[in-house]
Structure 1
């Protein structure tokens, strides 16, 4: 059996949705397509497609094999294209995801620089604060902040961040510098969202929460930071979110001795051994761009 041909045939069948359409796309006879699919299923020892008189559908094994086979074939096609063209410039579409503010501040400039360097690549950056499933949503590379669950994804840590309390110098002069997290209850808190009405700290390895109150609440980080800079109260943010303000002195970090442990920042991607050239190059590019950036203030 020509396994590569059988693999291409199966992917074409799955993409076209029928044996007849796949035969037409591959410019071969219907009996040939049927035979190649049967040979592949026999070789693998599993059924890849459920076939009825009206429709085809992937089995669970077929869905898994389709993802793997598509990646393998894409890598082969790209390698052959490079050799035929006598160059090593990557091309194709690259889909990347990252948290909104982190993506705006750090990932977007890296994406722009990558496309400037490799103009044959089309890059789509999707900023979202939910943890998306890379494989399910067809994404190539993601940035995650925080511990990673057990996964088949590959992760490369590029730094860390921590959650910290900050305030404007003028507010601290008026309110006083808190020496203990409970001192925050004597002032006002600027809330970034409803889930942050109790702030978590640790002391001597023990974690505890402090309820906070204020008369400003936002559902986005940026305006909450602006309110803190304006002297409207204490705010709790991730270090990268207020890095520029800390550097300029418009915000000051307080209660550093009570902060929770750092949270890792990882670049994640699937199929380490079968990455297309564009993905492999972008992962290296992004890791280099983010290296050390996220270790600020911590």
Structure 2
């Protein structure tokens, strides 16, 4: 349905079925069939066609407004979903030695967190051993013996 609405808008914007078909790489018969399917779905005539021009019917004008709104909303939903997949978020619990944490880890975390605002980091600085499971630590950095 959304593809047919996109095609309908392309027909209207380009001013003809053949031009819209060429733009989208579709055969003119395919364009005509899909437009007919859209008209059959709504049980109305959307365009008045002559050999030289097309014009919108009242229902066609209504569909142009609605189709633009629906397609914009569909694109917004898709962008939000994709952003959610591509965006990292959540909590990370880290442990590092005091010296390494203050001098190396904290400056890197500042940059990381400014670029990834949906992430929270709980950094524990300690020179001793930590119980990773008991303290719920995701990553512990240590060096030395």
State the TM-score bracket (shorter-chain normalisation): 0.5 to 0.7
Q: Distance in 1 between matches of 2:83 and 2:52?
A: 43
Q: 2:47 aligns with which of 49, 68, 82?
A: 49
The 5 A counterparts of 1:189-204 are none
| Greater helix content | 2
Residue equivalent to 1:24: 22
Where does the alignment leave 5 or more consecutive residues of structure 2 unmatched?
A: 86-145
Give the 3-state SS of the residue equivalent to 2:52 in structure 1: coil
Deviation at residue 82 of structure 1 after TM alignment: 2.8
Q: Distance in 2 between matches of 1:27 and 1:78?
A: 25
Residue equivalent to 1:80: 78
Q: Distance in 1 between matches of 2:35 and 2:72?
A: 20
Deviation at residue 83 of structure 1 after TM alignment: 2.5
Residue equivalent to 2:92: none
Deviation at residue 36 of structure 1 after TM alignment: 0.3
Residue equivalent to 2:57: 59
Residue equivalent to 2:7: 9
Q: Distance in 1 between matches of 2:77 and 2:25?
A: 23
- 1:38 equivalenced with 2:43 (yes/no): no
After superposition, the C-alpha distances for 1:135-182 in whole angstroms (9 at most, x for unaligned) are: xxxxxxxxxxxxxxxxxxxxxxxxxxxxxxxxxxxxxxxxxxxxxxxx
Residue equivalent to 2:114: none
After superposition, the C-alpha distances for 1:213-232 in whole angstroms (9 at most, x for unaligned) are: xxxxxxxxxxxxxxxxxxxx
Shift in alpha-carbon separation, 1:27–1:84, aligned structure 2, 3 A:
farther
Q: How many residues align?
A: 86
Q: Distance in 2 between matches of 1:26 and 1:84?
A: 25
Q: Say which one has the larger Rg.
A: 2
Give the 3-state SS of the residue equivalent to 2:51 in structure 1: coil
The 5 A counterparts of 1:94-133 are none
Deviation at residue 49 of structure 1 after TM alignment: 0.3
Q: Distance in 2 between matches of 1:15 and 1:63?
A: 12
Ranked by relative contact order (alpha carbons within 8 Å, sequence separation 6 or more), the top structure is: 1
Where does the alignment leave 5 or more consecutive residues of structure 1 unmatched?
A: 88-298
Q: Distance in 2 between matches of 1:86 and 1:22?
A: 34
TM-score, normalised via structure 1 length: 0.27
After superposition, the C-alpha distances for 1:59-85 in whole angstroms (9 at most, x for unaligned) are: 111001110111001110122123234
Q: Distance in 2 between matches of 1:28 and 1:78?
A: 26
